[in-house]
A and B are shown apart, each in its own frame.
Chain A
Amino acid sequence: MSECDFMRENMPLLLTESLDPARRELTHQHIERCAACSDEWAGYRETWQFLGALPEVEVPAHVKTQFLANVEPPLRRLAPAESRRHVTRWLAQAAAVVLVASGAFYAGHRSKPIELKEQPASLNSYSIAESRVLPARLVSPNIEGRPDIENVSFVDSNPSDPDIGLSFDITSHVTVTGRPTDKSMVRLLRYVLENKNRAASPSRSRAIDWVRTLYSRPENAEPEIAEALANVLRNDSHEGVRIKAVETLNRMPGGASADTRGALIEALKSDPNPAVRIKAVEALANLARSGATFDSATLDTLRQKAVQGDENVYVRVKAAEALSSIHP
């Protein structure tokens, strides 16, 4: 099998986001430098876009049955070898394409003519396009699977309008618009912040900057965002991202939940970056000054920090100052 054949075999999987990142990158690179495959790829995409624009029409049951009866035997003949798994997937994809196309063709000739008109995006009819804008209210707040999200950017085209936009790449470029407090918007942001394996550090870093600006306003206070930042503070290996997370947590309105406090305490205890520890202890000191009550474990940690001889002196002083404001 030539390289071109191999890459063309990958194209349907590329279209349906089924390729792993390494093969996806390889296929993209091949398409960029091979004119023939580039044309082939353009054809695939054109077909996909055309299919996405078609209205969904129910295929009559007898047509579907007959079609599946014709398709299934060859599929069964294929050995389920591990090395050929992508071929079966490709065939399944192709079968689905043919099914949809034949259904559409049948419906088009047996029923009234197709009218291509703009339809509002809905959860049920998702079409692949280069760039899509989806209102947050039409996006499910439950993110299924663990999609790779890249090139996250934020759009606030009209500052006087409370609506905002969150843009990102999956296979196409998607912009979700809505209010900062829309559940889907919050969940998307949470996903971007928390999934360090699925969202690159530049995206997380930018997301935190944006969260700080947006969610530090009292009217946008969102406990889920605070929880996400707490998880970033706990788990992110990127020190710059953790610094931003703890700084943003310090500015979040409405006090801190037990989870947030726990993250601050853990950061104060063991974060290797002194800036993170400083910001964590400052956040705890702010909480103490605002009259928050602390449990004995928190008091113990603050006390240990205050007397820890090898800790940065500023961190020790801030821990002591926090303790002086606490009335258990």
Chain B
Amino acid sequence: MIRSKTPALCAAIALLMSANAFAENLISTEKIEKLFPAESADSVWIDNPFGNIEVVGSDSPGLAITAIKTVTGPDRASLKDGSEQTVVSFEGDRNVRLIRTILPRVHNGPWTSSVSYTLRVPRTVHVKIASRIASRIRVANINGNVTVNMFSGAIILDGVAGASIINTTNGKVLYVYRQKPSTNAQIQAVNADIDVVVPPDANFNWIADTLRGDVVTNLPVRAEFLGSAFRGTVNAPGGPTIAMQTLLGNIRILGAGLDTRLVQSVRESVTEPPQRPVTMQSLLMRPAKRIQLPISGGPFDFSASIADVEVGEVRGWAHVQTAAGEIKLGIVYGDCTVTSNGGPLDLGDIMGTVMASTDAGDVLVRSARMGGKVSTAGGIIRVLYTGGPLTLQSGGGDITVRQAAGSINAETRSGDINLTADPLQRTQHIQAHTLQGNIILNVSPHFGAEIDATVLTSRPDANAIRSDFNGLTIKREQVGSKTRIHATGKLNGGGDRVELFAEEGDIHISNVATSPVTVMSPP
């Protein structure tokens, strides 16, 4: 028999008039108690979007629930509305008992509400909790399985002996084992830090994966990194597996009672010697860093997993490699090699050869005095000046060179290519190739070239080759379902070869008299 203390019987409704000068809100609280005696459920599910939850296992039979509903609003009507629309529901049967807070999907009233639950449950039940935001969710003394899903807040599992799965986004996870772990645990987070405390003699397999955080312990581990994931054993091999993943947070496993000053990063203990070539796999296991440096007095060599790097001036060569992050270098007095597996690159005045590549992101090079190669798997490439031969490749995105005093080879899978030859150049070799987009080539009136320009298009009425110079012969021919427009000829009597190819776009060879950009000499 269910003995129920319904809200009508035991609710204590209190309206507190707040004299808060900043927000003249009223708060109402309502206490709801429910007791399910002896034959209680095997599983208890709690679904509460906003509010704390505490579940404590007990040897006593029965399930005791206390819920405190709190509504905040500017007036009594809002409080009433909020209280009516925030429903605490007790459902289920003796197999699964569901306790949930029901809120309207959308409410326009000026109120907010939350419900805090405290549950006393038999130690053997399985517990499932779903929440969006809470200051704290605590589950203690449970031998059954525990599952917690939440968006933001602290999750504390204390003395949970059963298998557990925790999914969270922001906040913190603290898992305290009172006995040696005997079942698997999986903790997955995005930004949360994960702390696990185990008896110092516990044996288990440990998987820890964090991209930007660190992995530390004061226990003896044997480990190896596979990319960003650490796999090892704590104490002796064998036992259950505790898997922890957090993208930007830290992971710590501590021995209960051991000196916390002995904790050390497992990354450092297995980091490769620097002379070995740095691969993506080894790069991910390096600690993430944020570098902000006005001047590097000599060469600058840096590699990290996830790092935002900003150096104003490098008095030597620069070599930067990251798995992800933004890289910004000002003046580099020597060669500059920058490799990123993802993130934008912003390079200033590079005196030597520039070799810059990113797997995704825009690239800006203000000055590549000796030329080089710039590539992105997807993103826009902008070069303000190049003084040497420069190769540019984009997996999709525009390519712009504002002033090219060296040969250019530009290629993009989809995007416009806009190249401007240095007005002082009489001729230079240029290749531009886009599979979907336009090409605009700006050259000075006296620029000499042997032009070979092709447009391949399914819309011959829309796409064309236009030239501000005389002397080009334009032919059209049908190639399958497309039309090829081919222009050949010499500008100003001829010169180096200029090959332009645009699919589904225009080509425009423009006669532009521009002033050359002045590239400042280093001080």
Residues of A within 8 A of B (CB): 21, 24-25, 28-29, 148, 150-151, 200-203, 205, 237-241, 243-244, 247, 273-278, 299, 303, 306-307, 312-317, 320-321, 323-324, 326-328
The interface residues of chain A lying within 8 Å CB-to-CB of B397 are 239-240, 243, 273, 275
Residues 417-447 of chain B, each 1 if its beta carbon lies under 8 Å from chain A, else 0: 0000000000000000010111000000000
> Is the Cβ of A200 less than 8 Å from the Cβ of B459?
yes
The interface residues of chain A lying within 8 Å CB-to-CB of B415 are 239-240, 243
The interface residues of chain B lying within 8 Å CB-to-CB of A201 are 436-438, 504-505
B contact residues, range: 35 or more
Question: At the interface, yes or no: B9 with Cβ under 8 Å from chain A?
Answer: no
The interface residues of chain A lying within 8 Å CB-to-CB of B343 are 314
Docked CA distance A28–B341 (Å): 51
The interface residues of chain B lying within 8 Å CB-to-CB of A237 are 436
Q: Point out the residue from A277, A299, A321 that lies within 8 Å of B151, measured CB to CB.
A: A299
> Is the Cβ of A274 less than 8 Å from the Cβ of B377?
yes
The interface residues of chain B lying within 8 Å CB-to-CB of A317 are 211-212, 247-248, 306, 324-325
| Interface locus among B358-366, B488-496, B513-521 | B358-366
Q: How far is the CB of A294 from chain B (nearest CB, A)?
A: 10
* 29 A-B residue pairs with CB within 8 Å: A21-B461, A25-B460, A150-B462, A200-B462, A201-B436, A201-B437, A202-B437, A203-B462, A238-B414, A239-B396, A240-B434, A240-B436, A243-B415, A274-B342, A274-B359, A274-B379, A277-B360, A278-B379, A312-B341, A312-B359, A314-B324, A317-B324, A317-B325, A320-B191, A323-B190, A323-B191, A324-B248, A327-B133, A328-B132
Q: Point out the residue from A200, A241, A303 that lies within 8 Å of B190, measured CB to CB.
A: A303
> Is the Cβ of A275 less than 8 Å from the Cβ of B398?
no
Q: Point out the residue from A240, A299, A321 that lies within 8 Å of B437, measured CB to CB.
A: A240
Q: How far is the CB of A160 from chain B (nearest CB, A)?
A: 24
Question: At the interface, yes or no: B316 with Cβ under 8 Å from chain A?
Answer: no
- 114-163 of chain B: CB within 8 A of chain A: 132-133, 151-152
What 8 new A-B contacts, CB under 8 Å, besides A148-B462, A274-B342, A320-B248?
A205-B416, A238-B436, A247-B380, A273-B397, A275-B376, A315-B342, A323-B169, A323-B191
A315 with B212: in contact, given A239-B413, A239-B415, A303-B169 (CB under 8 Å)? no
A240 with B398: in contact, given A273-B378, A275-B378, A278-B361 (CB under 8 Å)? yes
The interface residues of chain B lying within 8 Å CB-to-CB of A307 are 188, 190, 245, 247
> Is the Cβ of A240 less than 8 Å from the Cβ of B396?
yes
The interface residues of chain A lying within 8 Å CB-to-CB of B245 are 307
Docked CA distance A299–B49 (Å): 14
* CB nearest to B503 among chain A residues: A201
> Is the Cβ of A202 less than 8 Å from the Cβ of B362?
no
Question: At the interface, yes or no: B72 with Cβ under 8 Å from chain A?
Answer: no
* CB nearest to A276 among chain B residues: B378
Question: At the interface, yes or no: B216 with Cβ under 8 Å from chain A?
Answer: no
Docked CA distance A276–B376 (Å): 13
Q: Point out the residue from A151, A275, A315 that lies within 8 Å of B379, measured CB to CB.
A: A275
Q: How far is the CB of B396 from chain A (nearest CB, A)?
A: 4
The interface residues of chain B lying within 8 Å CB-to-CB of A324 are 170, 190-191, 248
The interface residues of chain A lying within 8 Å CB-to-CB of B505 are 200-202
Question: At the interface, yes or no: B463 with Cβ under 8 Å from chain A?
Answer: yes
Q: How far is the CB of B424 from chain A (nearest CB, A)?
A: 28
Q: Point out the residue from A241, A273, A278, A328 that lies within 8 Å of B133, measured CB to CB.
A: A328
Docked CA distance A314–B245 (Å): 17
- 361-413 of chain B: CB within 8 A of chain A: 361-362, 376-380, 395-398, 412-413
The interface residues of chain A lying within 8 Å CB-to-CB of B187 are none
The interface residues of chain B lying within 8 Å CB-to-CB of A312 are 324, 341-342, 359-360
The interface residues of chain A lying within 8 Å CB-to-CB of B151 are 299, 328
Question: At the interface, yes or no: B323 with Cβ under 8 Å from chain A?
Answer: yes
> Is the Cβ of A275 less than 8 Å from the Cβ of B190?
no
The interface residues of chain B lying within 8 Å CB-to-CB of A326 are 170
Question: At the interface, yes or no: B214 with Cβ under 8 Å from chain A?
Answer: no
The interface residues of chain B lying within 8 Å CB-to-CB of A320 are 190-191, 247-248
The interface residues of chain A lying within 8 Å CB-to-CB of B376 are 275
The interface residues of chain B lying within 8 Å CB-to-CB of A313 are 211, 284, 306, 323-324, 341-342
Docked CA distance A29–B476 (Å): 10
Q: How far is the CB of A15 from chain B (nearest CB, A)?
A: 16
A323 with B414: in contact, given A201-B505, A314-B324 (CB under 8 Å)? no
Q: How far is the CB of A314 from chain B (nearest CB, A)?
A: 3
Question: At the interface, yes or no: B506 with Cβ under 8 Å from chain A?
Answer: yes
Q: Point out the residue from B377, B379, B506 that lies within 8 Å of A243, measured CB to CB.
A: B379
> Is the Cβ of A244 less than 8 Å from the Cβ of B398?
yes
Docked CA distance A21–B325 (Å): 48
The interface centre, meaning the residue of A148, A202, A241 with most chain B CB atoms within 10 A of its CB, is A202
* CB nearest to A149 among chain B residues: B462
* CB nearest to B457 among chain A residues: A200
The interface residues of chain A lying within 8 Å CB-to-CB of B462 are 148, 150-151, 200, 202-203
Docked CA distance A313–B361 (Å): 12
Q: How far is the CB of A13 from chain B (nearest CB, A)?
A: 15
Q: Point out the residue from B132, B170, B188, B342 that lies within 8 Å of A278, measured CB to CB.
A: B342
* CB nearest to A197 among chain B residues: B459
The interface residues of chain B lying within 8 Å CB-to-CB of A150 are 461-462
The interface residues of chain B lying within 8 Å CB-to-CB of A241 are 414
Query: 6 nearest interchain CB pairs?
Result: A314-B342, A240-B415, A274-B360, A275-B378, A239-B414, A239-B396
The interface residues of chain B lying within 8 Å CB-to-CB of A28 are 461
The interface centre, meaning the residue of B324, B325, B376 with most chain A CB atoms within 10 A of its CB, is B324
Docked CA distance A313–B324 (Å): 6
* CB nearest to B360 among chain A residues: A274
* CB nearest to A312 among chain B residues: B342
Docked CA distance A303–B188 (Å): 11
The interface residues of chain A lying within 8 Å CB-to-CB of B324 are 312-314, 316-317
Q: How far is the CB of A232 from chain B (nearest CB, A)?
A: 13
Docked CA distance A315–B434 (Å): 26
The interface residues of chain A lying within 8 Å CB-to-CB of B191 are 320, 323-324
Docked CA distance A239–B504 (Å): 13
Q: Point out the residue from B190, B380, B463 that lies within 8 Å of A202, measured CB to CB.
A: B463
Docked CA distance A21–B323 (Å): 49
> Is the Cβ of B360 less than 8 Å from the Cβ of A205?
no
Q: How far is the CB of B229 from chain A (nearest CB, A)?
A: 9
* CB nearest to B308 among chain A residues: A317
Q: How far is the CB of A286 from chain B (nearest CB, A)?
A: 15
> Is the Cβ of B190 less than 8 Å from the Cβ of A306?
yes
The interface centre, meaning the residue of B284, B306, B325, B436 with most chain A CB atoms within 10 A of its CB, is B436
Q: How far is the CB of B166 from chain A (nearest CB, A)?
A: 13
Q: How far is the CB of B485 from chain A (nearest CB, A)?
A: 12
Docked CA distance A25–B196 (Å): 73
Q: How far is the CB of B445 from chain A (nearest CB, A)?
A: 22
Q: How far is the CB of B357 from chain A (nearest CB, A)?
A: 13
Q: How far is the CB of B309 from chain A (nearest CB, A)?
A: 13
Q: How far is the CB of A251 from chain B (nearest CB, A)?
A: 14
The interface residues of chain B lying within 8 Å CB-to-CB of A202 are 416, 437-438, 462-463, 505-506
The interface residues of chain A lying within 8 Å CB-to-CB of B133 are 327-328
A316 with B463: in contact, given A239-B436, A324-B170 (CB under 8 Å)? no
> Is the Cβ of A205 less than 8 Å from the Cβ of B248?
no
The interface residues of chain A lying within 8 Å CB-to-CB of B152 are 327-328
The interface residues of chain A lying within 8 Å CB-to-CB of B325 are 314, 317
Q: How far is the CB of A32 from chain B (nearest CB, A)?
A: 11
The interface residues of chain B lying within 8 Å CB-to-CB of A299 are 151, 169
The interface residues of chain B lying within 8 Å CB-to-CB of A203 are 462
> Is the Cβ of A275 less than 8 Å from the Cβ of B361?
yes
Docked CA distance A312–B343 (Å): 9
